[in-house]
Structure 1
Amino acid sequence: MRLSPRDTVFFDLFAATAANVREGVGLLSEALDSAADRSAIAERLKEVEHHGDEHTHEIVRRVNSTFVTPFDREDIYRLSGGLDDVLDDVEAALDLMVLYRVGDLPSGVGDLVDVLDRAAELTAEAMTRLRSVDELSDYWIEVNRLENQADQTYRRLLATIFSGEYDALTVHKLKDVIDTMEAAVDGFETVANIVEQIAVKGS
């Protein structure tokens, strides 16, 4: 299905939103180094999250004021909300690292953020091609594969933090951070599934 250009601003807004999410994931990756100024990076990420909210509000405003939308209004809401949820989780993960004063992270956390980074890259690229949504099957298949990879990494991380190497308080802090990162990965899968559903409806 090739979407007609009824109101092409939606495509531009989704592309901008996904690029913003990718920027947020990049900042989270930057903050993994325990020597980094995480508080300063967190402030930058809050600004990115704020820009994301602006994109979301603009998409909603456009839906409410546009007579004919490029695909179902409900799907536009869901896709916009899904991208917003991912960025919220990314921002929350770094915020927890700062609030909990987390120092060195288990090495597997880097693997989890690498998955986030790849999913963000794929999503940003896919959102630039929403006009031809039926040609994005490689995107949602790969994001689903990445989510399965992240599940394995997450389980290994749980095994590490519950191994006895960390005290109970540190375990609690690390698990909160890791759970939130895992939620962000799940969010990318949700976005990919929404795109797939849009393609199926239009086929």
Structure 2
Amino acid sequence: MSLNSIIQYFVPKDRKFFPLFEKASRNLISLGEALNELVNTTDLERRKELTKKIEDLEHVGDDITHLIFLEMGKNFITPFDREDMHSLASALDDIADYIHGSAARMDLYKITDITPPIKKLAELILQGCIDVNKAVEELKNLKNIRLITDSCVRINSMENQADYVFDRAVADLFEFEDDAKTIIKYKELFAAMETATDKCEDVANVLETILVKNA
């Protein structure tokens, strides 16, 4: 093995890891946008198309996560703590999973009456995905720590709003809906969407940990 090859082995592969994290976070925006379009269209055929699109984008996210883990196994030195890299990749993947889970529940449970809480939760999910992407794109140099922390604050605020929307929606469901099947269907959907916002907060928590360790 040449000296250059040895040196390259020990140099952090920032040009591999950061683009992958950024690709994963940009994919989340695409997922959030598709979910928002899904809950705001009355065209049933278009809903099916968007459900399939969300499924495909979730698979894209899985592939990116797999590549991140693969690169971690191949490289001796990483841009930041390996445990935090694993946690960040997993948290980003979890957001995609729960967005896909939300769309899948709407399709499987044949939920055609899209209520205001569903639309609001989808809006908050997209907001969270946008802020996750903003923060992740600043990770490569850590010079704009304020931009990352501001995004984390907005994510935490978004998650608090989602908690309120979820609690109010479930309370109204129990108060005004008499059909047990309908209650179960909508509660399951609300829970999946609210969990997607929780996963955005998980990303914010990992990012804050990375900032503390690399300050």
Does the TM-score normalized on the shorter chain lie above 0.5? yes
- Retained in 1: the 8 A contact 2:135–2:152? no
**Among 13, 26, 30, which residue is 1:23 paired with?**
30
User: Which residue is equivalent to 1:58?
Assistant: 67
Please list, as runs of the form range in 1=range in 2, the aligned pairs for 1:63-74 lying within 5 A after superposition.
63-74=72-83
Quick check: 1:30–1:36 contact (8 Å CA) kept in 2? no
Moved more, 34-43 or 172-181: 34-43
Q: Summarize deviations over 1:25-79 as a string: whole Å, max 9, x none.
A: 1111111134343222111111101110110010001101111100011111100
Once the two structures are TM-superposed, the CA of residue 166 in structure 1 deviates from its matched residue by 4.8
- Unpaired runs of 5+ residues, structure 2, are 1-10
Which residue of structure 2 lines up, in the alignment, with residue 194 of structure 1?
Answer: 206
Which residue is 2:99 aligned to? 90
Note the 1:111-150 alignment, pairs <5 A.
111-133=120-142, 134-135=145-146, 136-150=148-162
Matched, 1:177 2:193: no
**Stretch deviating more after TM superposition (109-118 or 30-39):** 30-39
2:177 corresponds in structure 1 to: 165
**Contact 1:106–1:157, Cα closer than 8 Å, also in 2:** no
Count of aligned residue pairs for this structure pair: 199
1:155-178 Cα distance to aligned partner (Å, 9 max, x none)? 111122112235111110001111
Provide structure 1 residue ranges, at least 5 long, that are not aligned to the other structure: none
Residues 71-82 of structure 1: pairs in structure 2 closer than 5 A: 71-82=80-91
* Structure 1 equivalent of residue 21 of structure 2: 14
Larger Rg: 2
45-54 or 161-170: which moved more?
Answer: 161-170
Q: Distance in 1 between matches of 2:159 and 2:74?
A: 36
Q: Contact (CA 8 Å) 1:86, 1:188: kept in 2 or not? A: yes
**Normalised TM-score (structure 1):** 0.93
- What TM-score do you get using the length of structure 2 for normalisation? 0.88
- The structure whose RCO (Cα within 8 Å, separation 6+) is larger is 1
**Alpha-carbon contact 1:82-1:190 (below 8 Å) kept:** yes
- 1:112-151 CA-to-partner distances (Å, cap 9, x unmatched) read 1111111111111221111244331111111111111111
Q: Is the 8 A contact 2:122 2:193 kept in 1?
A: yes
Q: Percent identity?
A: 32
- 1:35 match: 43
| CA-based RMSD | 1.4
Runs (4+) off by over 4 Å = none
Find 2:54's aligned residue among 42, 45, 50: 45
